[in-house]
Structure 1
Amino acid sequence: MNDLILRLRTALALALFITFGLTSLSAQAGPTGSLQGAVVDQSGRAVKGAAIALISPSNDPRTAVTNGEGRFVVTGLPLGTYTVEVSAAGFAQEERQNVVVTSGNTADLPIALRLASASEEVTVESDADTSIASQLSPVKALLDMASPRSEITSMYIRQYTSPVTDFADILQAAPGTVSYSTNGIGNGQSKTWFRGFADGAFTMTWDGVPFQDSNDPTHHSWAYVPAPAISYVDFDRSPGTASDVGPTNFAGSVHMFSPKMGKQMTFKMSESYGSFNTNQILGEFNSGLFGGKNPKANIWFEGHHNTSDGYQTFNDQQRTAGTVKFNYQFSEKMYLTTVGTVVLVDSNTPDSDPTRQQIADHGLNYVMDGNKFIVGGKYDGLLNSLYYKNFTYHVPTNFEIITFGKEFGKGWKLEAKPYTYSYSNHQHLQKKQDQDLLAATPIYEPVNATSAVNKLNQYNRGGEITTLSDATRYGVFRVGGWYEYTTTHRFQVKSNPSTWLDSPLLSSLKFHEYFKTNSVQPYIEYQLVAIPKLTITAGLKSALYTMDLSQLADGSTVGSLGCKATTIVGCAGISTKHNAYYNNLLPSVAANYRIASNWSAYAQFGRGSEIPPSSVFDVTGAQVAVTPKPTVATTYQGGTVVKLNHISFDADVFHIHYENAYSSYAVTDTTRPDFGDSYFYSTPPSNTTGFEAEGNVFVAHGLSFNFSGTAGEAKYEAAAAQTLGNGTVLAATPVQWVASSPNYTVSAGFTYQDKNWDFGFFNKDIGPRWVDNGAIHQTTQLNSFWMNNLFLNYSFRHTSMFDGSKIKLSFNNLFDFHDLVGLSPGVSATAAVPYAVSGSDQLQLLPGRSVMATFQFGFKPRER
């Protein structure tokens, strides 16, 4: 066996060496030409250090960097037509197509860069890399970045993810992230953790607009921004600078961008089919430039329909979605872009995970039953509470953004971005599930007229992001702000799962509320570039929020509120109202020093905040004596980026002090005037300290190895015993781990990209994590687990009319691991009684191996 492996390795190395040599010889053969040019800013001043990338018809990139006079020269170019991409810090990427290089001649190309908007700042190096290792890397770092960030490239998303992927799965490419879907990739709502922060503790944006749930700022990977609407992702693991707006920037920001609009007409149609009876049909159209002799408009749209039975039993899903993007370039200094997406999701997903005993009895993929009645023994004939039709989700969403940009001359630019989005999650869920415990005789809760819940979470949001900037020889000044208005309607009422008729009794209403939220974040910042090799960005942002909440009588948490009737109808209009106001001043300072043209270092200080969710008012009597303050995180971090020809990597260290969320207690002493009121107190703060690194090593002729790793800890500080206002004594707590925070992550893989072939293999190991159970930290520890994926693609490139055609084969969880990745203890642990394994523990397991094949037809009409 060892001899066979050695022979295979030798043969592979020899084949790569011969292929590389032949390619190099063929590239040197024949006549050549040259290209030169000058790069200037909007005022005509030379731009030093701008990155130049030349993309040839053979897809063999050549690169250069401008000198002190802003000039560049590239010689020895094979004859043909090139696309030239130019980028520099603080400027939007500029592209020139159809640049012709002829024999013995030197083409001259003048290029003027325009000031970047806040959203364009994150892509200042996108494709114009001088490092071959960085060009081939699935995940890149930026030499000009001032905080740890990973640019997950369009190449990675299109070639090395499943056709039914979502943004939670895409984020797996970044170091330290933890995300999984127990029902298979794209078949459920996934969450992401990193640096000790749970989903909801970071901002997500699409084309610069933040989006999140209105009552608790988490994200919905199956409902918003489907994968075809994502071209590339910039993952900033920091509070960002003052101009980075959003509800929860203290952990970081995930910036997703819609696809770029090409200048030539293209059409694609694909069919994907694979494991769990998963099928996706997708169509995509790009009009290219149109509009007369001097075309200024583009339109692009995609539509897809996805159905799947899911890995788990009877957990099926279907999704229909479409995205449209339109751009009109009025002039070189004024443009308008609109983009919008609509998603409709329907599924039969339960609201809880299977128990340990259910998995032991029915198999690793069990979650629901396909029979309406319980079968077998004396329970035959009873309604089955785990019948899959007792659980339904219906989730329509829409998201629309308009971007208008105008340059006024002398470096001034205005960008306005109005937007709106809506979310309506209507669920019917059977709440009393089978208690399938370790007892000799299982205990079943019967289905009855009030055993299910009719649940709605619906909100509409509209907002505006405005930036006014001025670029001079000294730097860029920015002032602007974010404003958003939200209306939310939420309720839960007990219902009959057989008929889905709601109970008329007031005592059956779990809660019913309306609230309005105003979010305002004005900011001011300055990016100083006048000092050679050093860029400093400093700013200040005010994070202001107001919440006006009306809670209708529900007969339980909110109480009758003076209503004497016993039916919901009789209590119509009876409600209690709350108002909350929150504000934090959030400073930020970041610096980048260019040690050499291919080596930089950076450092950052920043603060971010998150306001308490609306649920703080879901307490006995709805009386809140002391409204909790926003939670605040303070981040200190620094790192370095190196881009050599055969290796590119970045590394950073960080320390985050997090003032954690609040817990509450109610006054139970009937003699006190504040009897029944709820007070909030701060839980111990936590500290997250760690190290991150990622990189890519180019071996030869398209073969490269990528890696990333993190090491660190996220722990609560020790807390002394304290006595609360109601006389309750909280025991002292030691230093303990934050839930779901691994002490390490390691990923390694390789890609091979050669002409028409793309091959990628990716491994990720997530270290041990702790499970919390309410207020008891470190309830039990979960073992480490592996995720591994394999992708093989053959693309019909440079075939003129049929560019974009592709055959793709995807393997997720290649080795079919079924590790335990999440656990909710069935028996509550206490400080005195530790966790014990129970048949009622709810488990989350990695889904089984999935294989998908994609056949994509691409068509590009001949240019006239």
Structure 2
Amino acid sequence: MTQPTLKRCAAAFLLFVCAFALPAISGYAQTAATTLSGVVTDAKGGMLADVVVTVTATDSAAAIRTTKTDALGHFTLGGFNTGNYTVEIAGSGFRPNRRTIRIAAGQDQDLSASLVVGDVSQEVNVSGNEVGSIASALAPMDALLDARSARTEITQHFIQNFTSPIADFGEAVQMSPGTFTTNGNGVGLGQSSTYFRGFPDGEYDIDFDGIPFYDTNTPTHHSWAFFPAQFLGGIDFDRSPGTASTIGPAPFGGSIHLLSKNLSPMQNIRGQFSYGSFNTALYDGEYDSGDLLGGHKLNFQIDVHHLQSDGYQTFNHQTRNAGAIKMQYKFSDKTYLTGFSGVIQLDANTPNFAATRCQMFGAGTGYTCTGANAFFAGAGINFLLTDNTDPVNYLDNQYNKYHVPTDFEYVGLHSEFGHNFILDVKPYTYNYDNGEKFSNATPITEAATINGSKTYNGIAIAPCNVPVTKKGVTALPCAVDKYNSYRKYGETSNISQVSRFGIARVGFWYEWATTNRHQTPSDPLNNWANQALSNFNESFWTNSYQPYFEYEFHATRHLNITAGTKFSHYNIATKQYADDGKTIGGLGTNNPNTFITNSGTYSAWLPSIDANYRLRTNWSVYGQVSTGSVVPPSKVFDYAQSATGIPVKTLPKQQRSTTYQTGTVIKLKRVTLDADFYHIRFQNSYSSTLDSSGEPVYFLQPSSITKGFEAESNLYIAHGLSVYLNASVGRATYTGNLNVSCTAPCTAAPISVAAPSGLWVASTPSDTETEGVTYQHKGWDLGLFNKRVGTFYQDNGAYHNQATINPFSVTNMFFNYTIRSGGRFDQTKVRLSFNNLFNQHSITADSITGTAATQNIVASGANYVDPFNTVGQTPIAAGDNISILPARSVMLSITFGLSTKR
């Protein structure tokens, strides 16, 4: 080859290299195409499926690329070169979201968006689409078209915008139909109590991600432990025993299904600070990892927070440190592993004390009260029995200490196999550890003499348990050392198979728990020295299992019928040590190391059947017949033992219920409506009476009938403005008298306990109503909600309806503004909430302590005539221990969001 030829070849080679290298260096081309992916949600954070994503190049004639989101709202488009693009995201019933983005060479990009409901004026046919229903999309609470019982869905959007930042799960459901929640220390600051259809806590299930949680001594719950609002992603509230697959210790009145937060596909950091009434402060931080690893295999979320508050009630301080992590790993699109862990350290100074009517309101409101009574006025006012100079204030922090650590963990495996088989397995463990030291005071006002008196801060004090007999010496009341700890291990499993005929489900729940409990009189002035014999001291072990089977038969395109049954089995084995006579006695030796053992078993078959029929695509009706039972409290096993340890009394029957209900759900463009009728026959909670030997005889209260009507609706007005309403009317009354007989060693005639037919079951309101107005537009979420609770009655353990609780209302108001620009500060929010806006102090509960004859009360109004002792009793007597609505509280919250740039 000649030299000129070589030169020509070299020049051609250089031109060839430059032709490909220069554009790459200069940025006009890229070596690898770029991928655009993201997720589409509605304004409430719900993932939207089948939304169309269209990408068009704005600076060239590049072809249009289009795709749809999958069932989880995800989309992916690939093959983009460097340039500017217009992205349009559109779904039926929603206003299209358009934006312009710049894609750089070799840099995959995430682009997520939130769609808002389109205006009614737009020509969009959404009346047949539940997701596209404007009223449904904006409803603060709503029912589902495929409902088979009375259910209300409470979204994460509602919890984060229309409840206080420190609310607990009880306060999140209180606006639901037929439901009310009370908390005397302020929202989220202590134990709240929730009732619906007259069922108190302990007569319904609560679970988290399908795992039941409850105390071992009775199937009740602690709203201040395990799952604060910061851990919640929504609530499925079913006011019925559910279906055969509804597991738990008390599928009796219904189920509150708590749900963890959905994992975000986008990386995000959020920090929140809240401050408000009663010197309440909340510090919260959350990190979302977004989708990690190839194919979005790994995703996790971490939340940590600190809460502190003085509380509304005097000396009822609360401190909580908590953290939770949720993680998911996808082995494939059909198999993934999910794990959750939540840990809480709770400390409180809640007094073991309920204020009397006189202490709450004084003697100036129609009552003449005797004895030493001071007044309660809420935060900042000493709650004393004598006067504000008394240094031996048994409500002081040093005499009331609660330390309550809890943890909750599970690992869940979900896998889809051939022939449409789906397997879900979820082993779990959780622990509750409640250590308390609290005073057990009785006011001392008599002149007296004390042997062995000592001084405290210069004032003579009586040692614990020493009678007061000397004038001028103040007696320090006894205290109690209380401990209740349990650890549980369990698993839930379910395998289902989908066919053209329907869905078959077979499952199993098993749980084993160990519990240690004691209450011992103690002397707080002597290093909390405990009395030798406790009030009770016991350990027990429980086993629960519930296998079930149900079949959801798709009879026609419009009719689904689900029938099934479960077998509920419960066993307890107890070890009870000698005590001071409060529970089992000294066992003949008064040696605290001696003990007796006992055991008991309860089993029940619980069938159910329901049907859902679609009259139209947006209108359904349903009917249900379902049965439920309740795990009995451990106290029913505290019955007399023979010398050989063989039980000599029979266990009481198990609580059972049968619920009949029918309802309808309809979703139109502007209106949603769901309504239901219910009729429930149930055997009530346990009560007891003493036999001739002084031993308690436990029995079920007489059967009762609860029936009523519930309805809820959301009406869309315009431009994000909606009106939400729900109401219930009902009646729950006993059906007849009850006779209780005990076997040996009863030496007298059988015990008869009369329960006059027609009296109301306690804590069952005659009616409830919720009125709400919401405005949800762009970044604004504004809400005003009022809950009214009608008249109900309370008993002192019998069935006399001694106390009447008059109707009361609580009104809450919320202002929220959230940045939803998709930029760096996406999800930054300012939040202002008012609870008990009108500062009502209505009475919400009454623990009846005596009769008018023993309290020296003068009161106006009609008296209730006790049919047993004919002593006049006022609806609320001066000596009754009562609860009231806490004062108005205001919280200002600021959340700082930092997201990846989209």
State the TM-score, normalizing by the size of structure 2.
0.79
Asked whether 1:490 is paired with 2:517, we answer: yes
Comparing 576-585 with 96-105, which one deviates more in the overlay?
A: 96-105
- Which of 467, 478, 498 is residue 505 of structure 2 equivalent to? 478
Q: 1:723 to 1:562 in 2, by over 3 A?
A: closer
1:112-146 Cα offsets, whole Å, 9 max, x none, are: xxxxxxxxxxxxx9x96121000000101100111
Partner of 2:535: helix, strand, or coil? strand
- Which of 765, 781, 789 is residue 804 of structure 2 equivalent to? 781
Partner of 1:276: helix, strand, or coil? coil
CA distance in 2, matches of 1:364, 1:132: 48
Contact 1:203 1:252 in 2 (8 A): yes
CA distance in 2, matches of 1:789, 1:81: 47
Asked whether 1:312 is paired with 2:313, we answer: yes
> Residue type of the partner of 2:884?
L
CA distance in 1, matches of 2:66, 2:873: 64
CA distance in 2, matches of 1:62, 1:485: 37
Contact 1:327 1:336 in 2 (8 A): yes
> Residue type of the partner of 1:581?
T
CA distance in 2, matches of 1:520, 1:81: 53
CA distance in 2, matches of 1:209, 1:60: 24
> Residue type of the partner of 2:310?
D
Q: Following TM superposition, by how much is the alpha carbon of 1:103 offset from its aligned partner in structure 2, in angstroms?
A: 8.3
Q: Following TM superposition, by how much is the alpha carbon of 1:387 offset from its aligned partner in structure 2, in angstroms?
A: 3.0
Asked whether 1:597 is paired with 2:612, we answer: no
Q: Following TM superposition, by how much is the alpha carbon of 1:835 offset from its aligned partner in structure 2, in angstroms?
A: 2.0
1:776-822 Cα offsets, whole Å, 9 max, x none, are: 43112111000110000111111411101011111000111111111
Asked whether 1:741 is paired with 2:761, we answer: no
Q: 1:587 to 1:81 in 2, by over 3 A?
A: farther
> Residue type of the partner of 1:607?
T
Q: Following TM superposition, by how much is the alpha carbon of 1:83 offset from its aligned partner in structure 2, in angstroms?
A: 10
- Which of 636, 643, 658 is residue 634 of structure 1 equivalent to? 658
Asked whether 1:365 is paired with 2:377, we answer: yes
Contact 2:740 2:752 in 1 (8 A): yes
CA RMSD of aligned residues (A): 3.4
Instruction: Spell out the pairing of 1:333-352 with structure 2 (5 A cutoff).
Output: 333-352=334-353
> Residue type of the partner of 1:462?
Y
Asked whether 1:427 is paired with 2:428, we answer: no
1:8-27 Cα offsets, whole Å, 9 max, x none, are: xxxxxxxxxxxxxxxxxxxx
Q: 1:555 to 1:371 in 2, by over 3 A?
A: closer
Q: 1:56 to 1:834 in 2, by over 3 A?
A: same
Q: In the alignment, which residue of structure 2 is the partner of 1:833?
A: 871
Partner of 1:169: helix, strand, or coil? helix
Asked whether 1:448 is paired with 2:471, we answer: no
Contact 1:372 1:383 in 2 (8 A): no
> Residue type of the partner of 2:885?
L
1:430-459 Cα offsets, whole Å, 9 max, x none, are: 11243799xxxxxx9976324111001110
Q: In the alignment, which residue of structure 1 is the partner of 2:576?
A: 551
Q: In the alignment, which residue of structure 1 is the partner of 2:301?
A: 300
Q: In the alignment, which residue of structure 1 is the partner of 2:75?
A: 97
Query: Could you tell me the percent identity over the aligned residues?
Result: 39
1:477-499 Cα offsets, whole Å, 9 max, x none, are: 11111000010100000001234
Instruction: Spell out the pairing of 1:31-46 with structure 2 (5 A cutoff).
Output: none
CA distance in 2, matches of 1:557, 1:697: 57
Partner of 1:775: helix, strand, or coil? coil
Contact 1:64 1:74 in 2 (8 A): no
- Which of 571, 582, 590 is residue 592 of structure 2 equivalent to? 571
Contact 2:435 2:484 in 1 (8 A): yes
Q: Following TM superposition, by how much is the alpha carbon of 1:369 offset from its aligned partner in structure 2, in angstroms?
A: 7.3
CA distance in 1, matches of 2:666, 2:522: 60
> Residue type of the partner of 1:606?
S
Which ranges of structure 1 fall in alignment gaps of 5 or more residues? 1-53, 66-71, 87-92, 110-124, 438-443, 669-674
Q: Following TM superposition, by how much is the alpha carbon of 1:606 offset from its aligned partner in structure 2, in angstroms?
A: 0.6
CA distance in 2, matches of 1:593, 1:165: 37
CA distance in 2, matches of 1:822, 1:108: 49
Partner of 1:777: helix, strand, or coil? coil
Asked whether 1:705 is paired with 2:723, we answer: yes
Q: Following TM superposition, by how much is the alpha carbon of 1:74 offset from its aligned partner in structure 2, in angstroms?
A: 11
Q: Following TM superposition, by how much is the alpha carbon of 1:405 offset from its aligned partner in structure 2, in angstroms?
A: 1.1
Q: In the alignment, which residue of structure 1 is the partner of 2:901?
A: 862
Q: Following TM superposition, by how much is the alpha carbon of 1:157 offset from its aligned partner in structure 2, in angstroms?
A: 0.5
CA distance in 2, matches of 1:295, 1:409: 23
CA distance in 1, matches of 2:202, 2:894: 36
Which ranges of structure 2 fall in alignment gaps of 5 or more residues? 1-38, 59-63, 93-126, 363-373, 447-458, 466-477, 853-865
Q: 1:823 to 1:327 in 2, by over 3 A?
A: same
- Which of 221, 228, 231 is residue 230 of structure 2 equivalent to? 228
Q: In the alignment, which residue of structure 2 is the partner of 1:654?
A: 678
Q: 1:396 to 1:78 in 2, by over 3 A?
A: farther
CA distance in 2, matches of 1:204, 1:456: 23
- Which of 832, 837, 843 is residue 882 of structure 2 equivalent to? 843
Q: Following TM superposition, by how much is the alpha carbon of 1:857 offset from its aligned partner in structure 2, in angstroms?
A: 0.4
Q: In the alignment, which residue of structure 1 is the partner of 2:709?
A: 691
Q: 1:436 to 1:772 in 2, by over 3 A?
A: farther
- Which of 546, 551, 559 is residue 521 of structure 1 equivalent to? 546
1:313-334 Cα offsets, whole Å, 9 max, x none, are: 2211111111100100000111
Q: In the alignment, which residue of structure 2 is the partner of 1:31?
A: none
Asked whether 1:608 is paired with 2:636, we answer: no
> Residue type of the partner of 2:720?
G
Q: In the alignment, which residue of structure 2 is the partner of 1:12?
A: none
State the TM-score, normalizing by the size of structure 1.
0.82
> Residue type of the partner of 2:787?
K
- Which of 471, 477, 494 is residue 467 of structure 1 equivalent to? 494
CA distance in 2, matches of 1:220, 1:105: 47
- Which of 164, 167, 188 is residue 166 of structure 2 equivalent to? 164
> Residue type of the partner of 2:656?
V
Q: Following TM superposition, by how much is the alpha carbon of 1:295 offset from its aligned partner in structure 2, in angstroms?
A: 3.5
Larger radius of gyration: 2
CA distance in 2, matches of 1:818, 1:108: 48
- Which of 617, 621, 625 is residue 649 of structure 2 equivalent to? 625
CA distance in 1, matches of 2:67, 2:582: 64
> Residue type of the partner of 1:287?
S
Partner of 1:773: helix, strand, or coil? coil
Q: 1:644 to 1:773 in 2, by over 3 A?
A: same
Contact 1:271 1:855 in 2 (8 A): yes
Q: In the alignment, which residue of structure 2 is the partner of 1:808?
A: 831
Instruction: Spell out the pairing of 1:194-205 with structure 2 (5 A cutoff).
Output: 194-205=196-207
CA distance in 2, matches of 1:98, 1:138: 31
Asked whether 1:396 is paired with 2:421, we answer: no
Contact 1:705 1:751 in 2 (8 A): yes
Asked whether 1:287 is paired with 2:296, we answer: no
Q: Following TM superposition, by how much is the alpha carbon of 1:769 offset from its aligned partner in structure 2, in angstroms?
A: 0.8
Q: 1:99 to 1:740 in 2, by over 3 A?
A: farther
Contact 2:833 2:891 in 1 (8 A): yes
Q: In the alignment, which residue of structure 2 is the partner of 1:149?
A: 151
Q: 1:59 to 1:688 in 2, by over 3 A?
A: closer
Q: In the alignment, which residue of structure 2 is the partner of 1:750?
A: 773
Instruction: Spell out the pairing of 1:525-540 with structure 2 (5 A cutoff).
Output: 525-540=550-565
- Which of 511, 530, 555 is residue 503 of structure 1 equivalent to? 530
- Which of 265, 269, 272 is residue 271 of structure 2 equivalent to? 269
Q: Following TM superposition, by how much is the alpha carbon of 1:359 offset from its aligned partner in structure 2, in angstroms?
A: 2.1
> Residue type of the partner of 2:764?
S
Comparing 261-270 with 822-831, which one deviates more in the overlay?
A: 822-831
Q: In the alignment, which residue of structure 2 is the partner of 1:415?
A: 424
Partner of 1:354: helix, strand, or coil? coil
Q: Following TM superposition, by how much is the alpha carbon of 1:82 offset from its aligned partner in structure 2, in angstroms?
A: 10
Q: Following TM superposition, by how much is the alpha carbon of 1:660 offset from its aligned partner in structure 2, in angstroms?
A: 2.0
Contact 1:626 1:680 in 2 (8 A): no
Partner of 1:197: helix, strand, or coil? coil
Q: 1:605 to 1:372 in 2, by over 3 A?
A: closer
CA distance in 1, matches of 2:343, 2:267: 24
